[in-house]
Amino acid sequence: MTEYRSLGSTGLKVSQLTLGTMMFGAIGNTDHDDSIRIIHHALDSGINIVDTADVYSKGESEIIVGKALKGRRDDVVLATKVHGRLGDGINQAGNSRRWIIREVEDSLRRLQTDWIDLYQVHRPEPDTDVDETLGALTDLVRQGKIRYIGTSTFEPGQIVEAQYVARERHRERPVTEQPPYSILARGIEREVLPLAEKHRLGVLPWSPLAGGWLSGRIRPDGAHSTSSRAARQPERHDPSSSENARKTRAVLELTELADQAGLSLIHLALGFVLEHPAVTSAIIGPRTLEHLEAALGADKVVLSRDVLDRIDAIVPPGTTLNPADAGYQPPSLTDPLRRRRIR
């Protein structure tokens, strides 16, 4: 029987696995009927939370989800996100009031629903006042178009700022954070997860299989099977880089550990993420029914203290082996002009 966890301080109960739908549409499974079958199988298996985003295949993922939830909408906690670029116009992206108000209407239309349960800001935008963002989201809650708000891949200081501004300005406060988290990317253990516990945030980690690294595709000799992700994100997936070579070595050790524990590598990886007290539900992103089946049942996995200690020895707590897996780098690091006086 599926066990459900409280979503932060809300009254919602959600399954320990979240169905992520990034791989439904042009960049993954282009067969809408097959994608819908996968969604239905996930729901029939006890998953009750579905996560998507407006930018996934430029809205196609939301369209597929909308088709799949016909007649089942009331049983599903539906989450989507806003921020990413969806046009060439200078204002067709970001966290401004203008874009949020416009884009929520498009998401509602694509999802064929009157409300979104959890509307998340997909990435931070330091140049936009967080009060503007929270103000727009608060208005949408009061209009009944969204129920709760959340953030994704926010830095620790940004999480705290959003909580502070919400309290001081009487805005709706974010009730969830969706960060990257896996055995290979443990950086959020330093501050994000402790902050989530302090502020009673629900945590919905993305990429618990490290973008496929922990799916079993690396062979015992260290060779990598072909992956379309390598072309899209070479910094995360090119096995020749020193950072990814470290990941390969870790995966080989983790594969051996999983075998000794009588688990699949996928179940070891998901079980590890779900073990953290701050984590609510891990997002799985299947492209095929086989991918989904391989992940189901991970919420029943209980890792022994010995296994967890051995994972810590392979990848120490708080360590992200490749910084590219952190999901976000602030402009203060990526833009040299923000670090230099102009003379």
Q: Tell me, what DSSP letter sits at residue 42?
A: H
Catalytic residue among 56, 119, 148, 181: 56
In this structure, which amino acid lies at residue 223? Answer: A
Tokens of 335: 């833009």
Cβ contact 179:205 at 8 Å: yes
Backbone φ and ψ of 266, nearest 5°: -60, -45
Residues 6+ apart with CB under 8 A from 264: 216, 258, 294
DSSP-derived pairing of the beta strands 282-284 and 202-203: unpaired
List the 146-152 sheet strands across, edge first: 202-203, 176-178, 146-152, 116-121, 77-82, 49-51, 17-20, 282-284
Cβ contact 118:78 at 8 Å: yes
Cβ contact 284:45 at 8 Å: no
Tokens of 248: 């390969």
For this structure, is 56 an active site residue?
Answer: yes
Tokens of 120: 């998340």
Residues annotated as part of the active site: 56
